[in-house]
Structure 1
Amino acid sequence: MGPDAAVRDPCRSRVLESALTMRLLERTGLRPDLYAAVETYVQRQAPETTGFERTMAEITLGGKNVRSDVLAEVVRAAPDFTGSRKRVLAQALLAVVGAPGEITWEPAAFDTAFLHSWASVQMTAAKVILAAVSGQSARISDEDVRCLADTQRAPRLWEGNVLIHLSVLHALTLLPNTGRLVAAGVDTLAAQVRSDGGLPFVSDVDTWCTATAGVALAAVNAAEPTLRALADRLAACQQPGGGWSYSDTAVQTDVDDTSVAVQFLDRVDSRRYRGSVRRGIRSLMAVRGTDGGFPTYVAGAASEASMTAAALDALTLRSDRHAGHIAEGLRFLVSQQNEDGSFPPDWSSSRLHTVCRVLLCTSRRPRSGSATVRRMVGRAAALVIGGQNDDGGWGQQAGDASDVISTAYGLTALCSIPDADPRAAAVAAEFLAHAPRGADGLQAIPDSIGPRPFVFTVPVLAEIFTLLALGHFDRRLAAPAARAQGTTRG
């Protein structure tokens, strides 16, 4: 927590962006002072990566072979409604690093209706890249070029997104009369090089860290001045329309950040932040789908289970006003649940992320809900209880070794199940309490995803979700004694 009360931890380097940077510097001849460091990073990290990123690194380092299933792997790991866009994006990224392969044109993937600003720019860049490398430049319009060029007008990295910035620069290098724009863009990119020589996905996720850290600190009853400072900082980051973005360098709002920010502000001081909370809920309701669910970014986009659970959790603050919306949202969640109790892929590598959110939001109103909602809750609870490993933790997917963040989700979920075995929660807490630490804090495998399905690392998030889980555990321990003394309503 810095002097400005923001919880800041820069995003760590990733092979995907670093390989793209290496190829960009090769193609343009710009900033030779950076090339060696980026190349060394890619060489060092390539053996540690898998899947699509491994392929990107190997091609950039001179390899010629591309696994035949690499595109299908990307599509399979993303939500169904993003399939065509993910395939096109992966094709474009492979094309700019020089991977051989046939390019298939998918016009539907370039339809920007109902796309948020980042996706719109990203898909426009992919369109320009694929059109240029396949000899179909007639498909590139003046509007496409304007969309890309506009991201390079600001004095800093557009929306704090390094991957989109790189995609745009690669697209611009394939067009005439773009030399000055590209050179300026490379200078902007240079400011994002990390100490290990690599490039990150985004500059930071500081607003997300501040909001989630606030919720975690509130869960363990941190000092009121600390919570108030965090809340003031968060309120100052609210966008004019009422929502929040992931970083104070971005303006594209999303349901995830907005839901958590609203909850935290209301928890700290519902009167002081009444206006911020009201505008935040209005922002959420503005993107709500006709199916009762909530998308990640904009109205008209596909609703998602994880975002819906987060938004419903925020709406429980005003459950008297939003009872109907909550009921409809729960019906959407029921429709999204898989037979094993899990939900479709979201913005986390762990299947427990959405499950945890669903159990949290339904635990706020434990005696309400239809039989189908109760069945959904029962399935989710069974997945959590049955998925715990012998060491007390949970892995990202069934059969995976336990990791810190998945275990934090698992323990939080377990504490939301009324009749859960307290011994299971105790061994999970023990796992977290004794998790090894390194220079960056808790040693945790990365969990956050962006864009789907690529994983990125912000180490402080492991600390945040662990603290939140232990806070839930502590409250569950205290609840029976408090009820016995008549100090809670149960």
Structure 2
Amino acid sequence: MRYLKRHRHVGDPLEAALADTALGCGFARPVQHEVLAGMAAQVPEFAGGRKRALAHAVFTMLGADLAHDDFGPDAFDVDALHPWAAVQVTAAKAVLGRAAGKAPLGAGDLALLASTQRQGIVWEGNFFIHLLVLHALADVPGMQATVDEGLGTALMYQRDDGGMPFVTDTDTWSTVTAGLALHATGAPPPVLHRVARHLLRVQHKDGGWSYTDRAQLPDTDCTTVALEFLHQLDPYAYRGPIRRGLDALLAVRGSDGGFPTYGAGTPSEACMTAAAVNALSTQGHLHHGIIQSALHFLVGSQLADGSFPPGWSRSRLHTLFRAHLAGNHSFRTPPPPIRSMHEQTLSLVRAAQRADGGFGQQDGSPSDAISTSYGLIILTGQADPAPAARATRYLLAQLRPHGGTPSPPDMLGPRPFPYDVPVLADAFALLALGHLSRRIRPCRAAVPGRRHSGSRPVETDRAQHHDAGAAHSTENTT
């Protein structure tokens, strides 16, 4: 309760509403509409119905008196869902059904929920789903012992500040992201190979990677970044894991040419498709046709304002920077559709840069380090150095004395609920500076007082921005 009280006035409408509701401080109707509408804007269209149901279920669990909407069958259809989503949807259905006085879940649904509960273990490392299942099973005859054991497991994860985590850890996702950033900025090879050895230990038998080694369901996000990192570090030494990772990635490719986050047959997403192109581009022309098809999907996904549908980040610039790199990796002279995608992206990014040089997650939100890192990666791919310089000044000003980079929560999961992984702010800031360092070079100038015959120019610490064509010669960095 002390943790929640501290988060009632954090400035984030969703977190404040959740804290107020859990503490019994009321959930005013105007706030309800505002918060629920804001949540809907942060999820892809294909997931809108079930995410709206999930949001209502969460607030219902916390004691909010909401009008019980008559959700359509698509909100609870699990046929085409990956395992996490299937359990999440079933639990939400149970909570909303109980609140509306509907018949309890059938035996099959109850068995699915109960199968996630093992004493001392959080299923798939997903603490949110663990708690959601416990709420769904509460008051179900014969489930009291399961709920009690699940609560005991939950209390094992309460933090010193009184709060609870969203997942047990994000070790693999943090590792691949940080590894790529360290490589981009020239970290010592022994450090990078140590990271690689860890990734080999947590690679799944099918070749993919999950956000944590506690999860069995691989995801496109982690798999693509791991592939890039291993290829850049040593494509020969890691050729076996790379080949298996590529096989896992290609196995989930959609019939529309795009790539989903989880599993074959689930909807393709712009951010995951861009990430897949960035990984496949490390293999030269081997997957040329697949890359062209993926880029076609990506171009078709871009919205009129230059952005893309919501992904797994609160910042619209996350998908933008990945899509920007995906097009750059594939062509020396981009065809008109790719050129148009780049122009729209750059136009949006230039217009979104704030007076302080930084970028915010969305229109109207203040500048932050992670969004600015995404924006800086895009800006380093253009000829004009001034916007990149302004973004760099903002980003460097955010650095703490020890080198850390504070930033508001950026990642979403399940969408649209935000969670904070502080190391990601450091990793993306480092990655952006790595992109920047490849676009600048020392400017040779004669040092005053050394004009005698035979003197050679001495490098100063001034830097000169490369021409835009240099972007094609840089490393393929996500």
Both structures adopt the same fold (TM-score exceeding 0.5): yes
Q: SS at 1:478's partner residue?
A: strand
Report the TM-score, using the length of structure 1 for normalisation: 0.87
2:118 touches 2:150 (CA, 8 Å); kept in 1?
no
Question: Residues 236-259 of structure 1: CA distance to partner in whole angstroms, max 9, x if unpaired?
Answer: 111111111001111111110000
Question: Residues 261-282 of structure 1: CA distance to partner in whole angstroms, max 9, x if unpaired?
Answer: 0000111111111111111111
Cα distance in 2, alignment partners of residues 368 and 327 from structure 1: 14
Matching residue within 39, 46, 61 for 2:23: 61
Determine if the alignment matches structure 1 residue 322 to structure 2 residue 287: yes
Question: Residues 442-482 of structure 1: CA distance to partner in whole angstroms, max 9, x if unpaired?
Answer: 22111111111111111111110010111110111139899
Cα distance in 2, alignment partners of residues 176 and 81 from structure 1: 35
Q: Which AA in structure 1 matches 2:83? A: S
Equivalent residue runs for 1:118-267 within 5 Å: 118-138=84-104, 140-153=105-118, 155-267=120-232
After superposition, the Cα gap between the structure-2 partners of 1:352 and 1:272, relative to the gap in structure 1 and judged at 3 Å, is same
Cα distance in 2, alignment partners of residues 256 and 50 from structure 1: 26
Report the TM-score, using the length of structure 2 for normalisation: 0.89
What is the aligned partner in structure 1 of residue 454 from structure 2? none
1:114 touches 1:299 (CA, 8 Å); kept in 2?
no
1:129 touches 1:174 (CA, 8 Å); kept in 2?
no
Question: Residues 173-212 of structure 1: CA distance to partner in whole angstroms, max 9, x if unpaired?
Answer: 1311111111111111111111110112112111011001
Cα distance in 2, alignment partners of residues 399 and 46 from structure 1: 21
Q: SS at 1:437's partner residue?
A: coil
1:66 touches 1:99 (CA, 8 Å); kept in 2?
no
Cα distance in 2, alignment partners of residues 47 and 239 from structure 1: 42
1:114 touches 1:298 (CA, 8 Å); kept in 2?
no
After superposition, the Cα gap between the structure-2 partners of 1:210 and 1:65, relative to the gap in structure 1 and judged at 3 Å, is closer
- Higher relative CO (CA 8 A, sep ≥ 6), structure 1 or 2? 1
Determine if the alignment matches structure 1 residue 422 to structure 2 residue 385: yes
What is the aligned partner in structure 1 of residue 451 from structure 2? none
Cα distance in 2, alignment partners of residues 124 and 481 from structure 1: 54
After superposition, the Cα gap between the structure-2 partners of 1:440 and 1:61, relative to the gap in structure 1 and judged at 3 Å, is farther
Aligned residues: 446
Question: Residues 66-91 of structure 1: CA distance to partner in whole angstroms, max 9, x if unpaired?
Answer: 43414333223211111100111112
Shift of the alpha carbon at 1:112? Answer: 1.0
Determine if the alignment matches structure 1 residue 114 to structure 2 residue 80: yes
Shift of the alpha carbon at 1:53? Answer: 3.2
Where does structure 1 lack aligned partners over 5 or more consecutive residues? Answer: 1-38
- Which range moved further: 330-339 or 471-480? 471-480
Matching residue within 244, 260, 267 for 1:279: 244
Where does structure 2 lack aligned partners over 5 or more consecutive residues? Answer: 443-463
2:324 touches 2:378 (CA, 8 Å); kept in 1?
yes
Question: Residues 298-343 of structure 1: CA distance to partner in whole angstroms, max 9, x if unpaired?
Answer: 2111111100000000010123221111111111111111122111
Q: SS at 2:357's partner residue?
A: coil
Q: Which AA in structure 1 matches 2:22? A: T
Cα distance in 2, alignment partners of residues 196 and 209 from structure 1: 22
Shift of the alpha carbon at 1:100? Answer: 1.2
What is the aligned partner in structure 2 of residue 469 from structure 1? 432
Cα distance in 1, alignment partners of residues 111 and 99 from structure 2: 19
Q: SS at 1:364's partner residue?
A: helix
Cα distance in 2, alignment partners of residues 105 and 183 from structure 1: 31
Q: Which AA in structure 2 matches 1:292? A: G
Q: Which AA in structure 2 matches 1:58? A: D
- Which range moved further: 181-190 or 62-71? 62-71
What is the aligned partner in structure 2 of residue 26 from structure 1? none
Cα distance in 2, alignment partners of residues 416 and 357 from structure 1: 12
Q: Which AA in structure 1 matches 2:436? A: F
Cα distance in 2, alignment partners of residues 79 and 343 from structure 1: 10
